[in-house]
Amino acid sequence: MTAIYCGRHFTDRELDRIRELGRILPSRQAIARAVCTEFGWRKPDGGLKDMSCRVALLRMHREGLITLPPPQHPVNPPARTPSRAARAIPFGPPLHGSRGDIAQLTLDPVHGPAASRHWNDLVAHYHYLGYSPLPGAQMRYFIHGDGVLLGVLGFGAAAWKTAPRDAFIGWTPEQRKAHLHLVVNNARFLLLPWVSIRYLASSVLALAARQLPADWAQRFAYRPVLLETFVECDRFTGTSYRAANWIHLGRTQGRGKLDRHKLFGKPLKDIYVYPLDRRFRTVLTAPLPPTSLPHLTE
């Protein structure tokens, strides 16, 4: 029997080992690093997949499969950390016009703790989904026009499974497991609410498609070949993605997460993709060497 978390199958024997590590190691971070090291759970660049592992361990803990020690650093202790809303910048002066009015449009990667907090605060305060950490490998950007902050953009790990995308690619479950890291999700796109510049959104998306592969390769030592995003149908029409030549594949089914007791429904979303490489299907459906085939029956 296996349990699947963050796209990885954990056997009963591995779960027993995780429980043992939980009894002998002092912190959640130490447990995650030990699990990654012992189980060979690594990123394409060879580094430990400790962030994905920590998410998986937390889900196991919440579902009662394992017991983790208390967190060493509670998130946002109220007595010491101001709220994100209190730190967010106020509305700026209205910016109107057209993309042609901007001489230099740039995407500037987020570097350093202060910039990271600023990006998080903007998303928390002004994005309808609010702030949550982006999953897996990620790139975050500030959008500037002639040096003026216009918005933010964020890319993270792709969805584990979505039928229209998987049919479009034509890969098998084994190929998806092996090559999913080559698909990157545009998880956050925010133009600040006082910015009203025609054709800006599609220009930002086009610039991101040109710039992100090299930025990603520099940070993670591999180049993605496909972008994806999910647009809530009740809120947006996806016009900017269409204008930037993203391909509409269909809609999610909105079935959400099914647990033992009830169904948590989710809003319907349009699915868009953008190929970053003409050979994206060849790359994503490449045959797996025998040593890479997943052992689904362990």
The CATH number assigned to the domain holding 183 equals 3.40.630.30
Q: Is residue 212 part of a domain?
A: yes
Q: Are both 153 and 58 inside the same structural domain?
A: no
Assess whether pLDDT exceeds 70 at residue 229: yes
212 and 281 fall within a common domain = yes
Given a cut of 50, is residue 261 above it in pLDDT? no
Q: Is the domain of 38 the same as that of 98?
A: no
Query: Is position 69 within any domain?
Result: no
The secondary structure of residue 68, as a DSSP letter, is: P
| pLDDT, tens digit (0-9, with 9 covering 90-100), for 42-86 | 877 778 888 789 888 988 888 888 999 888 765 554 434 445 554
Kindly state the average pLDDT of the residues 103-132.
94
Estimate the crossing angle of helix 28-39 against helix 50-62, to 10 degrees.
110
Q: What pLDDT, on a 0 to 100 scale, did the predictor assign at position 48?
A: 85
Do 57 and 116 belong together in one domain?
no
Q: Is residue 77 part of a domain?
A: no
CA atoms of 221 and 85, how far apart (whole Å): 36
Stretch 220-247: mean pLDDT, rounded?
95
pLDDT at 41: 87
Does the residue 251 lie in any domain? yes
Q: How confident is the model at residue 159 (pLDDT cuts 50, 70, 90)?
A: very high
What is the extent of the structural domain holding 13?
A: 2-62
What's the mean pLDDT when you consider all of the chain? 86
Q: Which residues of 93-131 are buried (b: 16+ CB within 10 A; e: fewer)?
A: eebeeeeeebeebebeebeeeeeeebbbbbbbbbeeeee
pLDDT at 256: 47
Other Cβ atoms closer than 10 A to 280: 21
94 in the same domain as 56: no
Span 198-207, average pLDDT: 97
DSSP state of 277: S
> Measured on CA atoms in the order 215, 130, 143, 197, is the torsion positive or negative?
positive
Last residue of a domain, one of 62, 96, 112: 62
The DSSP bridge partners found for residue 188 are 154
Note whether 92 and 186 are same-domain residues. yes
pLDDT of residue 288: 79
Residues 233 and 120 in one domain: yes
Same domain, residue pair 242 and 137: yes
Domain count along the chain: 2
- 78 vs 264, more confident: 264
Same domain for 279 and 210: yes
262 domain residue, yes or no: yes
Same domain for 129 and 163, yes or no, is: yes
pLDDT tens figures, 237-252: 899 999 999 999 999 8
Q: Is residue 11 part of a domain?
A: yes
CB atoms within 10 A of CB 34: 20
With 90 as the cut, is the pLDDT of residue 262 above it? no
Give the residue with greater pLDDT, 258 vs 137: 137
CA torsion through residues 138, 6, 259, 251, sign = positive
pLDDT at 85: 52
Based on the fold, state whether residues 25 and 170 are members of the same structural domain.
no
Where is the domain boundary, 62, 92, 112?
62
For helices 12-24 and 50-62, give the axis angle rounded to 10 degrees. 90
pLDDT of residue 285: 97
35 domain residue, yes or no: yes
Q: Is residue 76 part of a domain?
A: no
Work out the percent of the chain whose per-residue pLDDT is above 70. 86
Residue 102 and residue 163 share a domain: yes
Least confident of 13-17, 220-224, 287-291: 287-291
For residues 88 and 96, the model is more confident at 96
Least confident window among 148-157, 161-170, 176-185, 261-270: 261-270
pLDDT at 188: 95
Residue 158 has pLDDT above 90, yes or no: yes
Q: Has this prediction a pTM greater than 0.85?
A: no
Give dist(CA 258, CA 264) in Å, integer: 6
Task: Compute the average pLDDT of residues 3-10.
Answer: 79
Q: With pLDDT > 90 as the criterion, what percentage of the chain qualifies?
A: 59
- What is the band of 193 on the pLDDT scale with cuts at 50, 70, 90? very high
